[in-house]
Amino acid sequence: MAKRACALHILVKTEAECLAIKQQLDKGGDFHKLAKKHSTCPSGKRGGDLGEFNKGDMVGPFDKAVFSGPELAIQGPVKTRFGYHLIKVLYRN
């Protein structure tokens, strides 16, 4: 079972905004550009790149999505106390 992962995410305040960004991604939008433009997380400046982190480092719903969802697919909206996330898992090990 994977204990570490590397992921990108876009964090926004509303589910509607999250869904609108997901539609752009589904149509071929660039994750890094959309994260820089829309994400309220400091990682947005890095295109949403969270780097590598351990299982349990992130809040529950986010952690569950990263460690149980598909790799390289856009997941979300995932609701946490911070807002709504779109998540792209680059790899797990």
- Cβ atoms < 10 Å from Cβ of 26: 9
> In terms of DSSP H, where are the helices of the chain?
15-26, 31-38, 60-68
**Distance (Å, whole) CA 34 – CA 28:** 11
Task: Note the pLDDT tens digit of each residue in 50-76.
Answer: 999 999 999 999 999 999 999 999 999
Q: What is the DSSP letter of 65?
A: H
Question: Which residue segments constitute the domains of the chain, with CATH numbers given?
Answer: 4-92 (3.10.50.40)
pLDDT bracket for residue 1 (50, 70, 90): confident
pLDDT digits (tens, 9 = 90+) for 35-45: 999 999 999 99
* Whole-angstrom distance, CA of residue 39 vs CA of residue 61: 18
The predicted model scores a pTM of: 0.95
